[in-house]
Chain A
Amino acid sequence: MSETERLLGRVEDWTEEMLLRGMAQFAPEDTRLLEDLAAAARRLGMEGLEQLLSGVAQAGERERLTTGISETGASQQLSGLFFRLCAYTQLARESGSEMSFEEEAELEGNEEQN
Chain B
Amino acid sequence: MGNEMALRFQRLIALCTEDYLIRYANKGLYNRALKDMEKGITVNYAWGRDNVTCTLSDGTVCTLTDSIERFDCSCPSDKICKHVLIGLLYAAHHGVGEEEAAASTAAVDEDRGQTADQAADTSEETEESPAVSSVQPTCAPIGKESETKASPKLDFSWLLEREIAELIAPFQAAKVEEAAFRLRYQEELTVSEGSLLVVRMNRSGVEVAFTESPDVSRALCAVPGADGEMYKLEALLRYRASRGRQDQDALARQLTPVAAPPELLQQFRESVDVLLRGGLARLPRSFAARFELLAIAARSGGLPNLEREARGIHGELELFFARHVRFSVKALLGRLSRAALMVEALERDIAPARKAQLAGRFRSRYYTVPRLDLYGLGAEPWETRSGYRGITYYFYCAEDGGIYTYAQARPAYYEGAAFDYMQHYQERTPWKPDLTLRTASASMLSMRSIKVNDEGRLSAGGSPSVSLLDRPAVGDFDFGSLRVDSCAKLSAEGGGIRLFGGKQRQLKLIRASAVQGCVYDYRQQALQLQVVDAAGDPLELLLPYQANWGTALNRLESGRGLPGEGEFYIFAAVEPSGIYPISFLQGTAQLSLKLDLQS
- Interface residues of A, Cβ cutoff 8 Å to B: 12, 15-16, 18-25, 75-76, 79-80, 82-84, 86-87, 90-91, 94-97, 100, 103, 106-107, 112, 114
Is the beta-carbon distance between A90 and B334 smaller than 8 angstroms? yes
Is the beta-carbon distance between A87 and B499 smaller than 8 angstroms? yes
Query: Given A19-B332, A80-B344, A112-B350 in contact, is the A87-B276 Cβ separation under 8 Å?
Result: no
B424 within 8 A of A: no
The smallest beta-carbon distance between A62 and chain B, in angstroms, is: 14
For B499, list chain A residues within 8 Å (CB).
Answer: 87, 90-91, 106-107
B272 within 8 A of A: yes
For A21, list chain B residues within 8 Å (CB).
Answer: 279, 281
B280 within 8 A of A: yes
Closest to A26 in B: B277
Query: Given A20-B329, A21-B279, A91-B497 in contact, is the A83-B354 Cβ separation under 8 Å?
Result: no
**A-B residue pairs, 5 tightest by C-beta:** A22-B279, A96-B576, A86-B337, A83-B337, A83-B340
Closest to A16 in B: B329
For A84, list chain B residues within 8 Å (CB).
Answer: 337, 341
For the residues of A in contact with B, the DSSP-based class is helix
Cross-chain contact of B336 among A19, A22, A91, A103 (Cβ < 8 A): A19
Cross-chain contact of A86 among B279, B333, B494 (Cβ < 8 A): B333
Is the beta-carbon distance between B337 and A95 smaller than 8 angstroms? no
The smallest beta-carbon distance between A109 and chain B, in angstroms, is: 8
Is the beta-carbon distance between B341 and A87 smaller than 8 angstroms? yes
For B336, list chain A residues within 8 Å (CB).
Answer: 19, 83, 86
- Given contact pairs A23-B279, A114-B351, enumerate 13 new A-B contacts (beta carbons under 8 Å): A16-B329, A16-B330, A18-B276, A22-B277, A22-B278, A75-B273, A76-B273, A79-B273, A80-B341, A82-B276, A94-B497, A95-B495, A112-B351
B338 within 8 A of A: yes
Closest to A79 in B: B273
The smallest beta-carbon distance between A105 and chain B, in angstroms, is: 12
How far, in whole Å, are A94 and B577 apart by their CA atoms in the complex? 9
For B276, list chain A residues within 8 Å (CB).
Answer: 18-19, 22-23, 79, 82
B39 within 8 A of A: no
For A75, list chain B residues within 8 Å (CB).
Answer: 273, 277
B555 within 8 A of A: no
B371 within 8 A of A: no
Closest to B495 in A: A95
B326 within 8 A of A: no
For A12, list chain B residues within 8 Å (CB).
Answer: 330
